[in-house]
Structures are given as structure tokens and as C-alpha cells.
């Protein structure tokens, strides 16, 4: 048995096939319809729940795979089917990741299953960080959480924007400032459980792509949550704030911790879209004839295909490396999580654009999926940290300088 292998094990291959079959038979045939409808594809989420794919148990199992590869594999297969529907299925894992990153084991046990519910009683979760004036700069959050000691409650006020599942989620995990003077170090995460008064959906956004995934504002207006909803607990928060006030180094801020854990999975989603576009273009280029021969007979097209395949595979390798490093506790000394998301995101945009070119006019119209894949791909250079922010993280990591 060699020490090093890039082969998936039997269990991983089985899960990969199972998710792929669902993506091929259920998600892909529904993709065009839900893109046009721009609505949450409840029937598809229900199907996923019925077979156990949309469930806390499945996600927990994928999250805890010791090699780290299962989560990216699942993400790639789902988005290969369709990114919008995949995000409708995967959106709740963002809320879960927020709980996982900062919650105690007891809080995880209590709140995590509620992010998914059961096949008969589906639930959604959302992770609310971004605000109108705090996107890339997550240190400047204005949403405030104030402790009401008499009642042992936190009172949350503020507006979050661009939130996946925002306002339609049952559980909202929200990052708020508890001490604005401390910037990012004065922030904490809270679970806002189902039925809590003071949470409302603002505007729902009409988007360029991933249109089956719901994105909206969430408004917290004197929203009161019990003290136990503070992720990590009060004692830990007080200690963290005291350290910050003394000017000691922090071990990691609430929002950034979550993003670190989710970046390779997001990169894997981009790989799924890029792979779909590569495969489609390859088939098309072999079929389509001009000048009496298949267009792939021309180097101009064949070399595009070669570059597409190379970049898709390179993206996957970066994603797998970062996921493996995360799972095995290797430090991200060169921003490897960011590298995976940066490269895979930009690859997805590039590969889907090449796909449109290879299909010519057919690539530009909705009879073929490649224009949708291009629209979907673009979000991967924006959310979970823009490409510029990923480059900042990598540049800072490798240079040791506070590059701005």
C-alpha cells in the first residue's frame, strides 16, 4: 500500500456515484425550469430529503470524513447537476458551518439537526454575515447584539444582505458586533431559532445566476434570543473580549473561522460547473460539423478543450489539497483554502465562457445549458470572499506583510 494516493476509497466512490445519480436524474432535468422560475425548488429539496441526501446525518458524515474529500466530492457532483438547485440543497450547510465553527458540542447537538428537519418537516438554515456597508470588510459589521443581563437575553438589531435562504430559513445564524470598538474581535455568532419574533425578510434579489437559490435581506428588529443562543457561550466570549481589550493576539474571528472551513467546498462547487461545461463542449465539438468535418478537428477548438480539462483537474487538485489539509489539521500557511476557491472560481468563469464559444450561437441561447452555467459560474468569484480578497489572504500569508 503506497503512502500517498489520489484515489477515492470505496465508501467515497459509492457516495460519489449516489450523488451523481441524483444530480443526473433529478437535478439536471429540472435545472432550466427553476432557473426560469427563480424560486426555491422545494420539490427537489424534498426528493433529496427523502433519499437522505438533504439531512443532518448525511452532511455530518461528509463533514467528518477523515480525508476531508467527501464534502468536496458531494459538492462537485451536485453542482455538476445544477448550481442553483445545488445551492438550494446546500445553503443550509452554511448555517450549520456557522454553528460548527463556534458552537459548543451541546449547541451543535441541539441546533444542527434543526438546520435540516426531516423529510416530512423540512427546515432551512442561513448564515448571516454580509451587510450593506460590510461585505469584504467583515470587521465593520453594524448589526449589534446587546446583552440584557436581567433576562439573560441578547437583543439583536441590524440589517443583513445577500443572505442565502435569508428570511425563508427556519434557523438564522447571525454574526453581530457585541463591542464595536474592537472591530472583528468584538463580534460573536448567535443562533436565532425558528419562531423568534423580530426577524423579517427584506427584499428578495433577482440575480444573474444561481437563480434557484434564494438570496434576500434579513432584518433583525429588537430580536431577542436566550443567552444560550450565543455560540460558544458567555464565558468564552467574555474571555475573548478581555484578551482583545488587553491587545493580545486573537485566535480567529467568528466569521473568518466559518469561511476557512467552507472555502474548499465552495471551490468544489465551481469545479462541478466547470466540469459540466467541459463535458458538454467536448461532446458538442465532436458532433458539430463545419467545413465538412467535426469542429474538434481544428486545433483552435481542440486546444480549448485541452485547456479546459487541464484547468478543471488543476482546480480539483487544489480543492482536494485544501480539504485534506483542513481535515488533517495542517496549517494553511500559504492560504491554500483561498487558493482553491480563487482558482476554481476563476476557472469556472473561464471554462464556461470557452464553452459558449465552442457552441457558437447555440451557446448563447437557452436551448443549451452553457449560457446558464456561465451565469452561475460568476458568483464563484464573488461570494464567500471575492477573488481579490482571496488574493489578499494568499499574498499576506506568503509574504508575511499586511498587503492592502
Ligand X SMILES: Cc1cc2nc3c(=O)[nH]c(=O)nc-3n(C[C@H](O)[C@H](O)[C@H](O)COP(=O)(O)OP(=O)(O)OC[C@H]3O[C@@H](n4cnc5c(N)ncnc54)[C@H](O)[C@@H]3O)c2cc1C
Q: What residues form DSSP beta bridges with 48?
A: none
Nearer to ligand X, 206 or 293 (CB): 206
3-state secondary structure of 168: coil
**Residue 211's CB: how many other CB atoms inside 10 A?**
23
Cβ partners under 8 Å of residue 46, min gap 6: 119, 122
Sites for ligand X among residues 141-160 (CB under 6 A)? none
Out of 71, 212, 389, 397, the only residue in the binding site for ligand X (CB under 6 A) is 389
CB of 144 or CB of 243, closer to ligand X? 144
Q: Rounded to an integer, what distance in angstroms lies between the CA atom of residue 377 and that of residue 348?
A: 5
Least Cα distance to 259 among 189, 355, 203, 169 occurs for 189
Comparing CA positions, the residue from 195, 49, 189 lying closest to residue 108 is 189
The C-alpha cell at 128 is: 448571516
Burial (0-12, 13-18, 19+ Cβ within 10 Å), 152: exposed
Nearest-CB residue to ligand X? Answer: 135
For residue 154 the three cell numbers come to 441578547
Residue 232 CB, nearest distance to ligand X (Å)? Answer: 19
C-alpha dihedral over 365, 368, 369, 371, to 10 degrees?
Answer: -30
Among candidate residues 131, 260, 371, 384, the one labeled active-site is 384
Of the candidates 63, 47, 82, the one whose C-alpha atom is nearest the C-alpha of residue 15 is 63
Q: Does 34 bind ligand X (CB under 6 A)?
A: no
Residue 49 within binding range of ligand X, rule CB under 6 A: no
Stretch that binds ligand X, among 32-40, 58-66, 239-247, 385-393 (CB under 6 A): 385-393
Q: Give the x/- contact pattern for ligand X in 183-222, rule: CB under 6 A.
A: ------------------------x--x----x-------
- All cell numbers assigned to 181: 470598538
Q: How far apart are the first and last CA of the chain?
A: 46
Residue from 93, 102, 130, 262 that binds ligand X (CB under 6 A)?
A: 130
Check if the beta carbon of residue 262 is closer than 8 Å to that of residue 87: no
Comparison of 158 and 363: residue with beta carbon closer to ligand X: 158
DSSP 27: I
Position 395 contacts ligand X (CB under 6 A): no
135 binds ligand X (CB under 6 A): yes
User: SS3 of 202, please?
Assistant: strand
Determine which residue in the list 124, 128, 173, 285 makes contact with ligand X, applying CB under 6 A: 128
Q: Is 24 among the residues known to form the active site?
A: no
**Residue 388 touches ligand X, criterion: CB under 6 A:** yes
Give whichever of 23 and 163 is closer to ligand X, judged by the CB atom. 163
Name the residue nearer to ligand X (CB basis): 357 or 386: 386
Nearer to ligand X, 308 or 392 (CB): 392
Out of 164, 281, 315, 352, name the contact with ligand X by CB under 6 A.
Answer: 164
The count of C-alpha atoms lying within 13 angstroms of the C-alpha of 48, restricted to the half-sphere facing its C-beta, is: 31
Q: What's the CA gap between 361 and 400, in Å, rounded?
A: 48
* Total of residues contacting ligand X (CB under 6 A): 22
The one segment of 162-170, 269-277, 295-303, 320-328 that binds ligand X by CB under 6 A? 162-170
Q: How far is the CB of 366 from ligand X (least distance, A)?
A: 20
38: left (phi over 0), alpha (psi -120 to 50) or beta: left
Report in angstroms how near the CB of residue 79 gets to ligand X at its nearest.
14
127 interacts with ligand X by CB under 6 A = yes
Work out whether 383 is an interface residue with ligand X (CB under 6 A): yes
The footprint of ligand X (CB under 6 A) covers 94, 127-130, 135-136, 162-164, 207, 210, 215, 379, 382-386, 388-389, 392
Residues taking part in catalysis: 384
Amino acid at each position: 500500500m503506497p503512502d500517498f494516493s489520489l484515489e477515492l476509497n470505496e465508501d467515497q466512490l459509492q457516495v460519489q456515484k449516489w450523488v451523481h445519480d441524483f444530480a443526473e436524474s433529478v437535478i439536471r432535468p429540472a435545472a432550466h425550469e427553476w432557473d426560469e422560475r427563480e424560486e426555491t425548488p422545494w420539490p427537489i429539496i424534498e426528493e433529496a430529503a427523502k433519499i437522505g441526501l438533504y439531512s443532518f446525518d448525511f452532511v455530518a458524515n461528509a463533514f467528518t470524513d477523515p480525508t476531508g474529500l467527501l464534502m468536496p466530492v458531494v459538492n462537485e457532483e451536485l453542482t455538476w447537476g445544477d448550481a442553483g438547485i445545488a445551492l438550494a440543497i446546500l445553503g443550509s450547510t452554511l448555517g450549520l458551518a456557522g454553528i460548527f465553527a463556534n458552537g459548543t458540542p451541546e449547541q451543535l447537538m441541539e441546533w444542527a439537526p434543526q438546520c435540516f428537519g426531516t423529510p416530512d418537516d423540512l427546515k432551512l438554515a442561513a448564515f448571516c454575515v454580509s451587510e450593506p456597508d460590510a461585505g469584504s470588510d467583515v470587521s465593520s459589521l453594524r448589526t449589534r447584539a446587546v446583552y440584557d443581563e436581567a433576562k439573560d437575553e441578547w437583543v439583536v438589531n441590524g440589517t443583513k444582505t445577500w443572505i442565502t435562504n435569508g428570511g425563508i430559513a427556519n434557523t438564522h445564524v447571525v454574526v453581530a458586533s457585541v463591542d464595536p470598538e474592537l472591530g472583528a474581535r468584538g463580534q460573536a455568532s448567535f443562533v436565532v431559532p425558528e419562531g423568534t419574533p423580530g426577524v423579517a425578510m427584506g427584499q428578495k434579489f433577482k440575480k444573474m445566476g444561481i437563480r434557484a437559490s434564494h438570496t434576500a435581506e434579513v432584518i433583525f428588529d429588537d430580536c431577542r434570543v436566550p443567552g444560550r443562543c450565543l455560540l460558544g457561550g458567555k464565558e468564552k466570549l467574555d474571555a475573548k473580549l478581555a484578551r482583545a481589550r488587553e491587545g493580545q493576539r486573537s485566535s480567529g474571528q467568528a466569521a473568518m473561522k466559518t469561511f476557512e472551513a467552507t472555502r474548499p467546498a465552495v471551490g468544489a462547487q465551481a469545479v462541478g460547473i466547470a466540469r459540466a461545461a467541459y463535458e458538454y463542449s467536448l461532446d458538442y465539438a465532436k458532433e458539430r460539423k463545419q467545413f465538412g468535418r467535426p469542429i474538434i478537428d481544428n486545433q483552435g477548438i481542440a486546444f480549448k478543450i485541452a485547456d479546459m480539462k487541464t484547468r478543471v483537474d488543476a482546480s480539483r487538485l487544489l480543492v482536494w489539497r485544501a480539504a485534506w489539509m483542513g481535515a488533517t489539521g495542517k496549517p494553511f500557511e500559504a492560504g491554500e483554502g483561498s487558493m482553491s476557491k480563487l482558482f476554481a472560481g476563476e476557472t469556472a468563469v473561464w471554462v464556461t465562457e470557452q464553452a459558449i464559444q465552442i457552441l457558437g450561437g447555440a451557446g448563447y441561447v437557452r436551448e443549451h445549458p452553457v449560457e446558464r452555467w456561465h451565469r452561475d459560474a460568476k458568483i464563484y468569484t464573488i461570494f464567500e470572499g471575492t477573488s481579490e480578497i482571496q488574493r489578499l489572504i494568499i499574498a499576506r500569508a506568503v509574504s508575511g506583510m499586511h498587503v492592502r
